[in-house]
């Protein structure tokens, strides 16, 4: 089966978040399962152009203003044979940022990503490689399924089914309605069952109506986005397509995140022998300038210090929590107020709290390895990676029951000792404080439960193979829906 990925990010070439991780990892797992997967990506500044093979000729892409010409370069996903085609259009993509300066998108983003989606389809035709399924990711690729149903109708790509994946519904690709002609589609498409959304032009909405099937990155998030609390204004559309919307939990990179071999760690460990974790904890306490006390639990948080992550709620309860016999280490960047407050609080409580404001991947690994509990009280969380890294490193997550957190962490049952973490439901300072207190009490009063949960947590399977087999099923369903018969073979 031939699958075309269209996306604006793909690790390690270009990444600003979880989208890049998925597009960098999932194609490899699909290829290992026997699918012919190829990825189309913009050639951004910062990608090592010289390491890529330059394909002969130029590709003409029909745009609203006429044909745009680009070169095509070919690379491979590291550690695999998966081809990645880079569309080389300097004016659109040779810029300091992927999407624009922080907080503000480039003024021509609609044109840039129309080019990506349309260019991906033109590339297939130029290669003579017609995909069975096009898999488009987030709003930057949202026009690709729309083009399949419109400009490609009765063309070579008319039989290609489409799957549209939502990685984070907060970003929808919303533009001024007057920009509709930039898509190179007629005004007849600007209506309530395609682009028009309360007077704006919304690319995600168009993809939700035009794609054969829809997916998002966890089963719980798939249900939540159909509610007004989480649907970011598109819950009505998602409810209409409820039967076609599937939630598939992301995997994690189990090679990068392997406590038995992680080169960033001072010691290694595994589920059958946790002695290395004690050494990692001592090293973390030293690195944080906290008292080196093995008997005191270390609670950690790594991530963006923003409201999505519940950081405001944590900030409210943290001064009280720091009165208990525990230690807290934080690593993150985000809203300036949160950064300032946490740095200030750490300066007041240097014996209990260390706050690193910054982005530091190696330190994130050392924190996951050295901590006992991991805080993730998110308001919403499409999938979330850190809770899965934590589980793999035997660090018990404390999470709010939302999105991928609810799907990856089993709440502790005090009577039986079952579970892999601590789950709270209401996102309030009291509820978070109570849950941290519950974890603390379990640490001191039921250490056997903590030890058993750790081993259970470390034995969970979050590999991409599991996710890839679910996507494989989805592609087959999409194919059958589009073509009216099952995929042969
Ligand atoms: P999101 O994509 O919403 O930010 P995830 O949990 O899905 O949240 O992924 C966050 C990723 O970014 C993880 O790999 C995490 O380790 C990393 N990360 C976030 N902030 C930092 C930081 N300050 N330093 C190092 N790594 C970070």
C-alpha span between 371 and 21 (Å, rounded): 24
**CB neighbour burial string for 276-315, b if at least 16 within 10 angstroms, e if fewer:** bbebbbbbbbebbebeeeeebbbbbbbbebbeebbbbbbb
The whole-number pLDDT of residue 255 equals 87
458 ligand 1 Cβ < 6 A: no
CA of 389 to the centre of ligand 1 (A): 10
Nearest-10 Cα torsion for 260, 403, 166, 10? -20
333 ligand 1 Cβ < 6 A: yes
Percent of the chain whose predicted confidence (pLDDT) is above 70: 100
41, 141 contact by CB (below 8 A): no
304 ligand 1 Cβ < 6 A: yes
The whole-number pLDDT of residue 253 equals 87
239 ligand 1 Cβ < 6 A: no
The whole-number pLDDT of residue 17 equals 83
The whole-number pLDDT of residue 32 equals 97
CA of 126 to the centre of ligand 1 (A): 38
The whole-number pLDDT of residue 489 equals 77
CA angle 483, 484, 489 (to 5 degrees): 75
Angle between helices 361-370 and 275-287 (to 10 degrees): 130
Atom of ligand 1 nearest to the CA of 386: 6
CA of 21 to the centre of ligand 1 (A): 11
C-alpha span between 207 and 231 (Å, rounded): 15
C-alpha span between 141 and 154 (Å, rounded): 22
* Domains by residue range for the chain, with CATH: 2-251+465-483 (3.40.50.2000), 275-461 (3.40.50.2000)
The whole-number pLDDT of residue 18 equals 85
Atom of ligand 1 nearest to the CA of 368: 16
Q: In what order do the strands lie in the sheet with 422-424?
A: 353-357, 327-334, 298-305, 373-376, 396-400, 422-424
User: Nearest to residue 282, comparing CAs of 263, 272, 271, 296?
Assistant: 296
Helix (H, G, I), strand (E, B) or coil at 214: strand
DSSP labels for 137-188? ETGGGTHHHHHHHTTTTTSGGGG-EEEEEES-TT---EE-GGGGGGGT--GG
Atom of ligand 1 nearest to the CA of 387: 6
Q: 344 Cβ partners below 8 Å, 6+ apart?
A: none
297 ligand 1 Cβ < 6 A: no
Q: In the structure encoding, which two tokens stand for residue 468, read together?
A: 């890839």
CA of 64 to the centre of ligand 1 (A): 38
| 62 CA to centre of own chain | 31
265, 278 contact by CB (below 8 A): no
Tell me which long-range contacts 480-487 makes (C-beta under 8 A, separation of at least 24): 481/161, 481/212, 481/213, 482/159, 482/160, 482/161, 482/162, 482/212, 483/159, 483/161, 487/1, 487/132
359 ligand 1 Cβ < 6 A: yes
302 ligand 1 Cβ < 6 A: yes
CA of 359 to the centre of ligand 1 (A): 9
Helices and strands, number each (H, E), in the chain:
16, 19
List, for the chain, all residue ranges whose pLDDT scores fall below the cut of 70.
none
Atom of ligand 1 nearest to the CA of 364: 25
CA of 385 to the centre of ligand 1 (A): 7
Report the residue among 385, 391, 405 best suited for mutation to probe ligand 1: largest number of ligand atoms under 8 A from its CB. Answer: 385
249 ligand 1 Cβ < 6 A: no
CA of 307 to the centre of ligand 1 (A): 14
Q: What is the pLDDT of residues 183-194, one digit of tens each?
A: 999 999 999 999
20 ligand 1 Cβ < 6 A: no
CA of 56 to the centre of ligand 1 (A): 39
Report the residue among 19, 166, 303, 392 best suited for mutation to probe ligand 1: largest number of ligand atoms under 8 A from its CB. Answer: 303
The whole-number pLDDT of residue 275 equals 96
Q: In the structure encoding, which two tokens stand for residue 100, read together?
A: 């624009």
Residue nearest to atom 19 of ligand 1 (CA): 303
Q: In the structure encoding, which two tokens stand for residue 170, read together?
A: 């907060």
Let me know if 243 is exposed, middle or buried by CB neighbors in 10 A (0-12, 13-18, 19+).
Answer: exposed
The whole-number pLDDT of residue 183 equals 98
Whether pTM > 0.85 for this model: the answer is yes
Residue nearest to atom 24 of ligand 1 (CA): 359
Atom of ligand 1 nearest to the CA of 383: 7
CA angle 243, 244, 249 (to 5 degrees): 105
């Amino acid at each position: 089966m031939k699958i075309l990925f269209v996306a604006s990010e793909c690790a390690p070439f270009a990444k600003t978040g979880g989208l890049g991780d998925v597009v960098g990892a999932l194609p490899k797992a699909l290829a290992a399962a026997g699918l012919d997967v190829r990825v189309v990506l913009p050639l951004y500044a910062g990608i090592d152009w010289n390491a890529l093979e330059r394909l002969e000729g130029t590709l003409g892409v029909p745009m609203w203003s006429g044909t745009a010409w680009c070169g095509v370069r070919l690379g491979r996903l590291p550690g695999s044979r998966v081809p990645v085609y880079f569309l080389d259009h300097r004016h659109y993509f040779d810029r300091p940022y992927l999407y624009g300066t922080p907080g503000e998108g480039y003024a021509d983003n609609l044109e840039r990503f129309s080019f990506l989606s349309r260019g991906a389809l033109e590339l297939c035709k130029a290669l003579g490689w017609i995909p069975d399924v096009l898999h488009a990711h987030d709003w930057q690729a949202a026009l690709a399924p729309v083009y399949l149903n419109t400009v490609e109708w009765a063309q070579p790509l008319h039989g290609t089914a489409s799957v549209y994946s939502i990685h984070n519904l907060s970003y929808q690709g919303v533009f001024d309605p007057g920009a509709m002609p930039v898509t190179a589609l007629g005004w007849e498409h600007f209506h309530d069952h395609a682009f028009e959304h309360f007077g704006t032009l919304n690319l995600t909405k168009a993809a939700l109506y035009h794609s054969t099937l829809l997916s998002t990155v966890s089963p719980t998030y798939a249900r939540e986005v159909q509610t007004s609390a989480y649907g970011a204004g598109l819950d009505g559309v998602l409810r209409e397509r409820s039967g076609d919307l599937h939630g598939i939990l992301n995997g994690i990179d189990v090679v990068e995140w392997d406590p038995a071999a992680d080169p960033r760690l001072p010691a290694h460990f595994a589920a059958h022998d946790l002695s290395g974790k004690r050494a990692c904890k001592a090293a973390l306490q030293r690195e944080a300038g906290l008292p080196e006390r093995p008997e005191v639990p270390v609670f950690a948080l790594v991530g963006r210090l923003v409201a999505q992550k519940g950081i405001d709620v944590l900030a409210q309860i943290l001064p009280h929590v720091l009165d208990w016999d525990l230690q807290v280490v934080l690593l993150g960047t985000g809203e300036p107020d949160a950064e300032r407050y946490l740095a200030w609080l750490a300066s007041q409580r240097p014996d209990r709290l260390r706050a690193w404001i910054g982005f530091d991947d190696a330190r994130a690994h050392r924190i996951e390895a050295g901590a006992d509990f991991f805080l993730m009280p998110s308001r919403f969380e499409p999938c979330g990676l850190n809770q899965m890294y934590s589980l793999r490193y035997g660090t018990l997550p404390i999470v709010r029951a939302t999105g991928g957190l609810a799907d990856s962490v089993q709440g502790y049952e005090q009577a039986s000792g079952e579970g892999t973490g601590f789950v709270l439901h209401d996102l309030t300072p009291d509820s978070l404080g109570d849950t941290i207190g519950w974890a603390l009490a379990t640490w001191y009063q039921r250490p056997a439960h903590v030890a058993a949960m750790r081993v259970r947590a470390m034995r969970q399977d979050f590999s991409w193979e599991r996710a890839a087999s679910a996507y494989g099923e989805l592609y087959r369903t999409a194919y059958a829906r589009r073509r009216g018969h099952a995929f042969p073979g």
